[in-house]
Amino acid sequence: MKTSVVPNKPLRHAVKASSPPIRDIILLPADQLEAFAQQLARAQVITQHLRHSHRLLARLEMDYHALKAAQRTIAGWVRNRVPLCRSVEWLLDNAYIIHGQVRDIRRNMPAGFYRELPKLVTPEYYGYPRIYGLASELIAHTDSRLDEERLLNFLRGYQAETTLSSGELWALSIMAQIALVQNLQRLTQEIVDGQQQRALAEQWANEMIAETSKDPRQLDAILARHDQLLGPLDPVFAVHLLQCFLDLGSVATQFLHWLDNRLARQGMSFDDVTRITHSQEEANLVSVGNCITSLRFIADFDWATFFESVSRVEAVLRDDPAGTYAQMDFLTRDRYRHAVETFAKSTTSVETHVARQAVALALEAQCRGDEPVKRRHVGYYLLDRGREALNARLRGHASSPFARLGSALLQHTQPLYPAAILLLTTLIMVLMLLLAEPHSTMGYLVTLVLLLVPASDIAITVIGWMVMRVVPPHRLPKLELTDGIPASLRTVVVIHTMLTDDRRTQHLVDQMEVYYLANQEAHLHFALLGDFPDASQQLLPQESANLESAQRAVKALNEKYPGDETIFYLFQRQRLWNPVAGIWMGWERKRGKLEEFNRLLRGNTETSFISIVGDLGMLQDVRFVITLDEDTQLPRDAAKRLIGTLAHPLNHAQLNDAGTRVVEGYGVLQPRVAIGVTSAHRSLFASIYAGQTGMDPYPTAVSDIYQDLFGEGIYMGKGIYDVDAFMTVLDHALPENAVLSHCPVGVSRHKDHFDAWLYGNDIRS
């Protein structure tokens, strides 16, 4: 006989798993799930009052620890070469997938999000989230086999009766993972129980055979005694006991007769228990395989696209009268949907009702005919200044006094921010003075002077930390431009440079080619804006040859990449005499180049450009300009992301009646500027300020107190700007010889122009 797996186990039956696998008797094909989900929706009752229930997450932890314990037991059997069922291979080979899924569940299911989910009050799932009940029912009626068709049919049928919230739809994947892990735990425990039944049957057989071998004449008494000790026989136990008796040969007749009578009293036969055991093993094998396959499906599935295909809120918002919503990128659409959720929670409204009211307000603005495009867009009422109108529409009145107070504080941040710093600095200094206890007036004065700088530094840090907690950073809304950059958003990328020699020129041309290869888009052009270095005369020897070399290089690049439009340009300025500096130089250097380039784009030929390579007529309708320095990189598709941001209706620059200030939207956007990997260690200074290198900075949202609190930022000469806004606000606004390079410093009487131009400069776009 075989050695028992559990040699010291007493002669009694193993305890079966407390919960059977999540597998309904009726398994439904994909085309019948829709009707079943409709019936389920009509039968379920939910409540919002069980907000503090954590039973599901606690239960998951218990199931996970039980699953790991069962897997360790099975692994021990494998090491001891104990024959096991085929389901064990699935479990052991894919244990890493199960553990990874549990880590994802812990990370993606915070307690706050769990509390917000509507709970069921039906008996089977009382206190559990509705979406968990749906996931469990779907898994039960598909034998844990999930795919896109089954999910779509099930949710389509359910939402024909009851609309699920956005939070529930997002939680579906997590709830399906939880249900699958729980089912795997039950299946694994059933496998362990079955193996324990086999081991126990082997013990019974060994004991009975050993007693019979000592005194064969007492066989009937031995069988009668064991018959009294045994309770109802488990099919797995009976089958393995049968196998043990069959190995005895001719001596087995009486044992088999006894076992046959024993099963007959339970209404079963050898064929019945054999069929039940084999069916159970095959069913478990299929279920375990389906669970593992479904966990892999959940990990690889595009849930973002699926969410938008089943979300009722998404369907309503796509009726945006401005037609902008469908053109935005996913993160922006998701932010709109979160805004709908926030309105729904604060006004106790249904999410679809909030979305319809936002669309209705946008449609009313469109019917008026004289409203700007942003007011005809649903985002104006979800994220922008139209929030108060939507709030009044939903509540029937204006927002609460607390909300109005918060809005008023955000509108008066300029006096409040320095006042808070001053107050905290004073408190810190007073506290330190009390602790120091100077013994004279002079001591007080010296202590105050010494404490001023550290106290103010502490105050600025503390207030900044508080602001970042209260006013989190937000990404600007963006258009996705899936079909490329349209002609209405024609953009030119300009690189400011000095043409000093052929080697430098060729490097710049090669760099421009790299930019193009990383951003190959229609209606996107690349140009070198060149100057000659400051000199004592207007034209130095060899500069004509250098210019001709640059012209040939740009023409060769256009010939290398032919098309319907000119892609690469060269704009070279001549030196002009500067009587203040007493030198020949490019007029107003970088700032002057941009001003003259803008005038050239709008048809003004009275500029200092002496050489233009490329079809200038093609650039007359350029809307945006992206400015780069020689050492600035333009990552893949970064140009399209910048254009999509500034082109969004909520970001359009709105000027005051005098055209001297941007009062809404943005005139210029600047991406986060980071030090590249190759430059991070060129010096100690660069190493200290490089921060995290090797990461694409464009999708990374970081908090900047001036941007988050004041809606403004510091322009560093690299970014994208609206040509018409630039021309309207800044053209001829600055006196000559007042701006060093492109930096707006030293001209206090023209600060309003710079504030207007830099309004809303976003460092995270």
- Alpha carbon distance 696, 96 (integer Å): 30
Band of pLDDT at residue 395, cut at 50, 70 and 90: confident
Element (H, E) at 493: strand 491-498
The confidence score (pLDDT) of residue 765 equals 30
3-class SS string, 190-254:
HHHHHHHHHHHHHHHHHHHHHHHHHCHHHHHHHHHHHHHHCCCCCHHHHHHHHHHHHCCHHHHHH
Task: Tell me what the mean pLDDT of segment 660-667 comes to.
Answer: 85
- Residue 573 has phi, psi (to 5 degrees) of -100, 155
CB 158 within 8 A of CB 134: yes
The confidence score (pLDDT) of residue 87 equals 78
- For residues 82 and 335, which has the higher predicted lDDT (pLDDT)? 335
Span 628-650, pLDDT tens digits: 988 788 888 999 999 999 999 99
Least confident of 316-325, 350-359, 440-449, 579-588: 440-449
Outline where DSSP puts E strands in 54-194.
Answer: 119-120
Element (H, E) at 557: helix 543-560
The confidence score (pLDDT) of residue 2 equals 37
The confidence score (pLDDT) of residue 432 equals 83
The confidence score (pLDDT) of residue 218 equals 66
The confidence score (pLDDT) of residue 400 equals 58
- For residues 694 and 631, which has the higher predicted lDDT (pLDDT)? 631
- Residue 421 has phi, psi (to 5 degrees) of -65, -45
CB 674 within 8 A of CB 686: no
- For residues 262 and 567, which has the higher predicted lDDT (pLDDT)? 567
The confidence score (pLDDT) of residue 721 equals 93
- Alpha carbon distance 703, 763 (integer Å): 9
- For residues 338 and 227, which has the higher predicted lDDT (pLDDT)? 338
267 has pLDDT over 90: no
CB 227 within 8 A of CB 262: yes
- Alpha carbon distance 466, 464 (integer Å): 5
Task: Tell me what the mean pLDDT of segment 257-264 comes to.
Answer: 76
Span 206-247, pLDDT tens digits: 777 777 676 666 666 766 766 666 767 778 877 877 777 776
666 has pLDDT over 80: yes
CA-nearest of 189, 18, 185 to 98 is 185
695 has pLDDT over 60: no
4 has pLDDT over 60: no
Element (H, E) at 46: strand 46-47
The confidence score (pLDDT) of residue 228 equals 62
Task: Tell me what the mean pLDDT of segment 512-525 comes to.
Answer: 94
Span 599-608, pLDDT tens digits: 999 988 889 9
Task: Tell me what the mean pLDDT of segment 283-306 comes to.
Answer: 92
Task: Tell me what the mean pLDDT of segment 15-36 comes to.
Answer: 81
Query: How would you classify the pairing of strands 491-498 and 524-531?
Result: parallel
- For residues 357 and 474, which has the higher predicted lDDT (pLDDT)? 357
- Residue 290 has phi, psi (to 5 degrees) of -65, -40
- For residues 400 and 489, which has the higher predicted lDDT (pLDDT)? 489
For residue 590, give every residue at least 6 positions away whose Cβ sits within 8 Å of its Cβ, in sequence order, or none.
496, 717, 741, 742
Task: Tell me what the mean pLDDT of segment 734-755 comes to.
Answer: 49
CB 289 within 8 A of CB 281: no
3-class SS string, 350-417:
CHHHHHHHHHHHHHHHHHHCCCCHHHHCCHHHHCCCCHHHHHHHHHCCCCCHHHHHHHHHHHCHHHHH
For residue 194, give every residue at least 6 positions away whose Cβ sits within 8 Å of its Cβ, in sequence order, or none.
85, 236, 280, 281
Least confident of 56-65, 147-156, 601-610: 56-65
> Average per-residue pLDDT in the chain?
82
The confidence score (pLDDT) of residue 147 equals 93
The confidence score (pLDDT) of residue 10 equals 36
The confidence score (pLDDT) of residue 651 equals 93
Polymer length in residues for the chain:
765
pTM of the model: 0.81
363 has pLDDT over 90: yes
- Alpha carbon distance 643, 628 (integer Å): 14
Q: What percent of the chain has pLDDT over 70?
A: 84
- Alpha carbon distance 619, 412 (integer Å): 42
Least confident of 194-198, 274-278, 380-384, 706-710: 706-710
- For residues 716 and 457, which has the higher predicted lDDT (pLDDT)? 457
The confidence score (pLDDT) of residue 644 equals 95
Q: What percent of the chain has pLDDT over 90?
A: 36
Least confident of 158-162, 258-262, 507-511: 258-262
Band of pLDDT at residue 146, cut at 50, 70 and 90: very high
Tell me the one-letter amino acid at 496: H
- For residues 458 and 749, which has the higher predicted lDDT (pLDDT)? 458
The confidence score (pLDDT) of residue 563 equals 84
CA-nearest of 350, 83, 290 to 199 is 83
Task: Tell me what the mean pLDDT of segment 48-54 comes to.
Answer: 61
